[in-house]
């Protein structure tokens, strides 16, 4: 008899899990309240982050804390009311940034990011959207002369991990991106990083590939999850769905579904915003650009130039706070010749665990319940390998990356 699976959540991680399970002959039902790729996976900078191997809470965080406390830095906006309601999570996040943990966390993240471009290239080819992939790298830029030292330090670090990069001065930056205003004295070009022109459209195309191969997609909000006989049942506004196994890949909403089962994954969220801008006639970028000092990405997209904000640590469903996105929009206008804003400002939420690593594996005490969330800022990049890891473990295969650093037991007793 054919095994069956429910995958709850149709972002990049969920769709990737559905495809990987389907490839192994499992009949999969993919369930989400929205169409594939319309939530968190829609709003990122579209970067396939081969070089994003340093966790957010690394030892360099500590010297920056005082500059963040007043909510004046574009990299962070913090709701102190929210922080005080979950002081344990914030303290654990800071504790996980201690230097003794850095090397292991970097190795764990690198195991997820090393094959990201290769895996997405293969999926895009299968989905018929190879034209959406850019393999032109990314460019990090610094606004002060101190950036030369920062670029050199990052260059040396990446070289030690086998990741190519090229240091650029002001003239070198103008040579690779002539439309940028010459306000950056230092830059770092990282050629191995890929990008796409619409992350939401890419995720949707992967969802269509799943459906074209016989997968079932149900658009319905999941209201509950429970054991049902030897398997699992998901309750939705459209009725219930049963299967042998269930995969929770609901990103920042995963905890809502798990806590009634007595499973608290210590999940929190980082909100983020983006806007699309129209470039002036003749101005263009060939790759995503990250302005380090102003804390934003500027990425060429199908919809225009996407400007992304830093982290907003407010309640997941609180009203918008545009302080950061307004600030980085001003900074982006200094860097590149823009006309006006296109469309509305978008807001989303990224799922984050205290150690900045995702949760990938079977839930403790709940056979057949698999967890795949917490990929924070790099879920779009690491979705495909997360899906392959889940499917391999479900089928008793050796996963493509060591699952131990991502085991649910590190937070769920």
Average pLDDT of span 43-71: 86
The pLDDT, as a whole number, for residue 78 is 82
What gap in Å lies between CA 148 and CA 93, rounded to an integer?
30
Contacts of 167 (CB under 8 A, 6+ apart): 148, 151, 152, 155, 186, 187, 188
Q: Hey, what's the torsion of the CAs at 202, 108, 411, 61, to 10 degrees?
A: -90
Confidence band for 301, pLDDT divided at 50, 70 and 90 = very high
6 within a domain of the structure (yes/no): yes
pLDDT category at 57 given cuts 50, 70, 90 is confident
Structural domain of residue 119, as residue ranges?
1-54+97-131+197-265+357-413
- The reply to whether 220 falls in a domain is yes
3-state secondary structure string across the chain: CCCEEEEECCCHHHHHHHHHHHHCCCEEEEEECCCCCCCHHHCCCCEECCCCCCCCCCHHHHHHHHHHCCCCCCCEEECHHHHHHCHHHHHHHHHCCCHHHHHHHHHHHHHHHCCHHHHHHHHHHHHCCHHHEECCCEEEEECCCCHHHHHHHHHHHHHHCCCCCEEEEHHHHHHHCCCCCCCCCEEEEECCCEEECCHHHHHHHHHHHHHHCCCEEEECCEEEEEEECCEEEEEECCEEEEECEEEECCHHHHHHHHHHHCCCCCCEEEEEEEEEEEECCCCCCCCCEEECCCCEEEEEECCEEEEECCEEECCCCCCCCCHHHHHHHHHHHHHCCEEEEEEEEEEEEEEECCCCCCEEEECCCCCCEEEEECCHHHHHHHHHHHHHHHHHHHCCCCCCCCCHHHCHHHCCC
Q: Give residue 30's pLDDT.
A: 98
Cα distance between residue 371 and residue 249, in whole Å: 7
Residue 73 in domain: no
Q: What pLDDT score does 75 carry?
A: 85
Q: Which two tokens stand for residue 222?
A: 């999941």
Classify residue 229: in a domain, yes or no.
yes
pTM score, two decimals?
0.96
Question: What pLDDT is stored for residue 68 in this prediction?
Answer: 74
In a domain, 160, yes or no: no
What total number of domains does the chain contain?
A: 1
Per-residue pLDDT for 210 more than 80? yes
Q: Is 26 a domain residue?
A: yes
Does position 71 have pLDDT exceeding 90, yes or no? no
pLDDT of 104-152, one tens digit each? Answer: 999 999 999 999 999 999 999 999 999 999 999 999 999 999 999 999 9
CATH of the domain at 48: 3.50.50.60
State the Cα–Cα distance between residues 162 and 114, nearest whole angstrom.
10
CA dist 133 and 138 (Å) reads: 13
**Predicted confidence (pLDDT) at residue 174 exceeds the cutoff of 90:** yes
Kindly tell me if the per-residue pLDDT of 256 is higher than 90: yes
Q: Is 203 within the bounds of a domain?
A: yes
101 found inside a domain: yes
Distances (CA, A) of 387 to 119, 140, 155, 226: 11, 29, 31, 22
Q: How far apart are CA 241 and CA 250, in angstroms?
A: 16
Longest dimension (CA), the chain: 67
Confidence of residue 58 (pLDDT cuts 50, 70, 90): confident
pLDDT tens column, 215-233: 999 999 999 999 999 999 9
Structure confidence at residue 413 (pLDDT): 81
pLDDT of residue 399: 98
| Mean local confidence (pLDDT), 93-114 | 94
For residue range 326-348, list pLDDT tens digits in order: 999 999 999 999 999 999 999 99
28-50: buried (b, 16+ CB within 10 Å) or exposed (e) per residue?
A: bbbbbbebbbbbbbbbbbbbbbb
Residue 26's pLDDT is what?
98
Mean pLDDT for the chain?
Answer: 95
**5's torsion region: left (phi>0), alpha (psi -120 to 50) or beta?**
beta
């Amino acid at each position: 008899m054919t095994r069956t699976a429910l995958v709850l959540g149709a972002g990049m991680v969920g769709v990737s899990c559905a495809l990987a399970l389907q490839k192994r002959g499992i009949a999969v039902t993919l369930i989400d309240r929205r169409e594939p790729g319309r939530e968190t996976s829609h709003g990122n900078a579209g970067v396939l982050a081969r070089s994003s191997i340093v966790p957010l809470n690394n030892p360099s965080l500590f010297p920056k804390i005082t500059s963040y406390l007043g909510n004046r830095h574009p990299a962070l906006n913090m709701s102190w009311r929210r922080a005080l309601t979950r002081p344990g999570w914030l303290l654990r996040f800071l504790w996980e940034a201690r230097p003794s943990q850095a090397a292991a966390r970097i190795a764990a993240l690198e195991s997820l990011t090393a094959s990201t471009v290769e895996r997405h290239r293969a999926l895009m080819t299968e989905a018929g959207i190879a034209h959406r992939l850019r393999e032109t790298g990314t460019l990090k830029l610094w606004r002060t002369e101190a950036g030369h030292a920062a670029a050199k330090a990052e260059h040396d670090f990446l070289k030690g991990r086998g990741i190519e990069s090229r240091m650029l001065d002001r003239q070198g930056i103008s040579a690779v991106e002539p439309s940028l205003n010459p306000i950056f004295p230092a830059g770092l070009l990282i050629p191995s990083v890929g990008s796409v022109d619409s992350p939401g459209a890419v995720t949707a195309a992967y969802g269509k590939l799943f459906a074209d191969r016989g997968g079932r997609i149900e658009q319905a909000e999941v209201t509950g999850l429970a054991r049902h006989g030897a398997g699992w049942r998901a309750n939705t506004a459209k009725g219930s769905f049963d299967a042998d196994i269930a995969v929770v890949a609901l990103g920042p909403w995963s905890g809502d579904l798990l806590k009634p089962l007595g499973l608290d994954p210590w999940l929190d969220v980082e909100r983020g915003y983006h806007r699309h801008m129209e470039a002036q006639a003749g101005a263009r970028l060939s790759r995503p650009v990250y302005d380090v000092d102003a804390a934003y990405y500027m990425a060429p997209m199908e919809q225009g130039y996407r400007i992304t904000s830093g982290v907003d640590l407010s309640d997941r469903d609180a009203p918008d706070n545009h302080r950061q996105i307004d600030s980085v929009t001003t900074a982006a206008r200094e860097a590149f010749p823009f006309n006006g804003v296109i469309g509305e400002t978008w807001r989303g939420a990224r799922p984050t665990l205290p150690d900045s690593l995702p949760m990938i594996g079977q839930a403790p005490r709940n056979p057949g319940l698999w967890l795949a969330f917490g990929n924070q800022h790099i879920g779009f990049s690491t979705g495909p390998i997360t899906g392959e890891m889940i499917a391999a473990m479900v089928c008793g295969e050796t996963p493509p990356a060591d699952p131990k650093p991502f085991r649910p037991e590190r937070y769920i007793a």
